[in-house]
Structure 1
Amino acid sequence: MKKLLAVGLVLALSGCGGGYDSLPPQVSDGNGGTIGAGGTFPTDKGDWKYRSVSNEDGVFSLSASIYATNTYTVPKYPNLKQRSWIELEKRKMANDTISKRFTIFAPEEVKCTPNCDIRIKFNGNTATYSFLQSTEGVLTPVSEQSSSELFDKTVQSNKATVYLPIVGLSKEFGSEFNLRGYDAAKMKFISE
């Protein structure tokens, strides 16, 4: 009799749904947390990638890159979406000084022949910087001072928007970046 009562109770609860089958599925955020419908990432870190280059004298180049969180439609191929990215590099020079480089990669042709002004917003403050396009879609600041300044602003900010003048789009595209979670320790030379 107890078994029949238990089975009946289970059937009754499953018929009502028990409340759990109507909840949105939980999805891993990739950082050990979970999100559901309308949820946010608990850690909310950007997806930074790091690498280093060395020779017989040791590590001489450290770099970090991060992709935009949004995509744009490629003008020539409406079914294709592209995403820009930023790369930061610290390079140890022969005289032991360290240079800082900031580069924007736009996978499509940009209206910069050979240079243009690009607006960048860091944490709500927008400024305009002059860039050169030496290779299609690869944009570098016109001066080392500007490159170093942009490097520092990137690592000190939580978010950024880079307004790219993509050829074929009617207006600039705002590539948005989540810069949280930058690991300064991975971008530090032993001698620093």
Structure 2
Amino acid sequence: MRKLFAVGLVLMLSGCGGGYDSLPPQVIDGNGGTIGAGGTFPTDKGNWKYGSVSNSDGVFSLSARIDAINTYTVPQFPNLNQRSWIELEKRKMAVGTISKRFLIFAPEEVKCTPSCQIRIKFNGGISSYGFLQRVDGVLTPASDELSAELFDKTTQSNSATVYLPIVGLSDEVESEFNLRGYDEDKMKFTGEQ
């Protein structure tokens, strides 16, 4: 029965791609941690999870994920709680530059079709930012410049609160993040200053 469950889970997850279906397999880093497509390696600092993706030319993508410290109730299922998370990504571009990407994942649909203003409080200062929701619950900054700005604010702050207008809830969900312990070294490419 467990084998059938495991096979079913693998088949179910293989249908969820997001464009990562053709990434190379996982590899082992120099410290014995697993890295690669979808892989993470543990950290002793905070609750950040780090990963990287590489090809024959080396590592081309670095990621860091932080989960909210609180949950919210799912509108359709009052006995179920969900937790949002923030994901940061640095990617080597073909022109020799490095892009910075900031994403908010809310496991439920957000009132953001196709765009909206999302309030985020960094270290006590609150501002509104333009976001797009192309896939339910995945919020992307409206521009590359804004994405890089939010990446930097996240890595330079101790805390953040993201105010999410979840579909089916009358009040915004305050997803709180403890950003302490971000390890900048794990998010640097070899040779990057």
Partner SS state of residue 77, structure 1: coil
Deviation of the 1:158 alpha carbon: 0.3
**1:102-121 correspondence runs (5 A):** 102-121=102-121
How many Å separate the matches in 1 of 2:46 and 2:186? 15
How many Å separate the matches in 2 of 1:191 and 1:99? 16
Partner SS state of residue 149, structure 1: helix
Point out where structure 2 has 5 or more consecutive residues left out of the alignment. Answer: 1-44
The residue number in structure 2 matching 1:54 is 54
Deviation of the 1:71 alpha carbon: 0.3
The one-letter code matched in structure 1 to 2:94 is A
How many Å separate the matches in 2 of 1:189 and 1:95? 15
Deviation of the 1:170 alpha carbon: 1.1
**1:1-192 correspondence runs (5 A):** 46-192=46-192
How many Å separate the matches in 1 of 2:91 and 2:48? 18
Moved over 6 A (4+): none
How many Å separate the matches in 2 of 1:97 and 1:103? 20
Deviation of the 1:46 alpha carbon: 3.3
How many Å separate the matches in 1 of 2:106 and 2:186? 25
How many Å separate the matches in 2 of 1:141 and 1:191? 28
How many Å separate the matches in 2 of 1:57 and 1:94? 12
Point out where structure 1 has 5 or more consecutive residues left out of the alignment. Answer: 1-44
Alignment identity in percent? 76
The higher relative CO (CA closer than 8 Å, separation ≥ 6) is in: 1
How many Å separate the matches in 2 of 1:191 and 1:141? 28
Report the TM-score when normalising by structure 1. 0.76
Whose Rg is larger? 1
